[in-house]
Chains A and B, each alone.
Chain A
Amino acid sequence: MLIRIDPGRAEPLHEQIAAQLRRALGQGRLTDGEQLPPARQLAESLEVNMHTVLRAYGALRDEGLVEMRRGRGVIVRGAGNRRARLVELARSLLAEARREGVGLRELKTLLEELS
């Protein structure tokens, strides 16, 4: 699994890490029951603060994509794979809409029209 972040970009580092993991989940490069690298190790390798990694892991946990257990590390929850892809798609749609100056309400109407 490859995680790449760019401190030069405006997006916060923890969001970059979470987005990379979501993409890996969505593409099936991370599978059910797989263990993510320990936060300390990931932080050392990416030269970021450990809290940045924990924040990214926390976000994924809140989305139900991973499970965090004391002493067992962070484990991928298989059921999350499809959802991860959707969440990532929705995020990029939101980002694109924002760039085009389309507000949330307008985007909602657009989605309703389409469905």
Chain B
Amino acid sequence: MRMSVRIVRDSLGVIVPLVWSSVAIGSMRWAWDRLPEPMAAHWGISGAPNAALPRAVVVVFLAVMAGMSALGAFAVTRQRGARPREIAAPLAMASFLGVLAAILAVMVVALNLDAPSWSAARRLTIEWLAALIATPVLAAAVTGRLAALLEADAAPVDLAGRASIGLGATERAIWTGSAANPWCAAWSIAITCAGVAALLFASVEVAAALVLGGLVLACFAVVRVRVDGSCVTISFGPLSFPRQRMPLSHILAARVVDVWPLGRGGWGYRGSLLFSRRASIVVRRGEGIELDCGARGTLVITVDNPGSAAGLINDLVSRARRGAGE
């Protein structure tokens, strides 16, 4: 990554959150003595204030909100090897939260300023409401766009062309691989055990929810991938159930990718081929395989040593296409 890109990326994570945090806290500090105690903190549909909180609580609330987003933005940009396009989504999210904290602070200060008591605070107008929604959305969009623009400047990942293992015309092959996350396995066991314990100490509903949560987590403790002449099969959990199949006829190409969980929306099954044409099965950070399914979308699966899998898929796909006379 170029130096200038790194500087801009890092400042996105440090300077920008600093700005919105100081707007949030600074506006409260500036107006401290001119705010009623307690101050109006909630407004009804009619626009009149209907709930109050001590000033200190409002400050702490805003500080936590701004701090969380600043910390998130900082952590995101400090990830080693994180690519701008991948950090675009989490950075936009952090921007949204941080700018929301800043605009909230400005708004409660403006509405409470010089009011004799909280109930005499100004009414929440439609303009304020619009600003409250539009500003964070705009901030998120700008941050996301900026991060995506930086991507154009960053070095491309994979120009090595289509991976291949040189599969012969009569050859048959199978590839199996997996990716595991021991933390996920440990959590799954712990939560399932907590669910069983909940049967004794809490209600059946709580127990059922915990056990279900534990079982869902178990599905992402290990994910196995199998490639053969007919399809790519992805199976979840220690029992290899449930399974997802992607017929080779749906796949155009495969390539190795470096998966960075936050850039894919987190761990687990993210996105949807049906609705967003982009899905990721993320068990851990690191190597994975990307299946380009054309109009059907893109499916990314984290899996260890995916090099020969990508090669095999590409070879099988091009053989099938040659066979079909394309």
Chain A interface (Cβ < 8 Å from any Cβ of B): 1-8, 29, 37, 41-42, 44-48
Contacts and interface: CB of A to CB of B under 8 A. Distances in A.
Interface residues of B, number: 18
Contacts of A7: 170, 172
A4 B168 CA distance: 10
Contacts of B309: 2
20 contacts: A1-B177, A2-B165, A2-B175, A3-B173, A3-B174, A4-B167, A5-B171, A5-B172, A7-B172, A8-B170, A8-B171, A37-B174, A41-B226, A44-B228, A45-B229, A46-B172, A46-B174, A46-B228, A47-B229, A48-B172
B305 interface: yes
A45 B316 CA distance: 13
B173 A5 contact: yes
Contact of B226 (A4, A8, A45, A47): A45
Nearest to A7: B170
A6 B168 contact: yes
Contacts, number: 49
Interface of B: 165, 167-168, 170-177, 226, 228-229, 305, 308-309, 312
Given A2-B308, A2-B312, A42 B174 contact: yes
Nearest to A48: B172
Given A2-B312, A37-B176, 17 more contacts: A1-B175, A1-B177, A2-B165, A3-B173, A4-B165, A4-B173, A4-B174, A5-B173, A7-B170, A7-B172, A37-B174, A41-B226, A42-B174, A45-B174, A45-B228, A45-B229, A46-B172
A68 B172 CA distance: 25
B227 to A, nearest CB: 9
Contacts of A2: 165, 173-175, 308-309, 312
Which 4 pairs between the two chains have the least Cβ-Cβ distance? A45-B228, A4-B173, A8-B170, A45-B174
B277 to A, nearest CB: 28
Contacts of A8: 168, 170-171
Contacts of B229: 45, 47
